[in-house]
Amino acid sequence: MIFDTGSAVSTLILNLKWLWVASQQCDSCPMDNKYDSLASDTYKITNPYPAFVSYGTGQMYGYISSDRVCLTETACASKIDFLSAVETEGLNSVKADGIVGLAPSSQGSQAELFVTELVRNGLISN
């Protein structure tokens, strides 16, 4: 994962807990490890319309989804929202399995940080 401290501005339109991962369906995603939604009993697409994210070097689109997210086998949050990427363009140099946005919510977004959601679920302490 890439921990992106400047990401909130580019993701304001998503209004979600800012985390994105490459899905198994993403042939253009350069990531080695991809998220397999078919292997999950708790995966849901929460918005049927694609969401787009642009960066200075490229862009991606995917679907706002939710699933159970675990940091370890026993430290899990039952429902975390994220963007499941299905196509990328211009991100071939990305050498990570996804991006965790860490920019402050105070940048005008109503989105909650992924880390905030982990604290709320008791998976990490602040």
| Residue pLDDT, tens place only, 2-59 | 776 665 434 434 444 567 888 999 888 887 889 899 999 999 998 899 888 777 777 8
pLDDT in tens, 77-95: 888 888 888 988 877 776 7
User: To which H or E segment does residue 125 belong?
Assistant: none
pLDDT value at 118 more than 70 = yes
Please, are residues 18 and 7 in contact by the beta-carbon 8 Å criterion? yes
What number is the average pLDDT over the span 109-119?
Answer: 70
Report the top-level CATH class of 2-120: mainly beta
Q: What are the sequence ranges of the domains in the chain?
A: 2-120
Enumerate helices (H) and strands (E) in the chain, giving the number of each: 1, 7
Question: What pLDDT was estimated at residue 83?
Answer: 85
Residue pair 66/81 in contact (Cβ under 8 Å)? The answer is yes
Q: Which residues contact 89 (CB under 8 A, 6 or more apart)?
A: 28, 58, 59, 60
Q: Which pLDDT belongs to residue 110?
A: 55
Residue 103 confidence class, pLDDT cut points 50, 70, 90: low
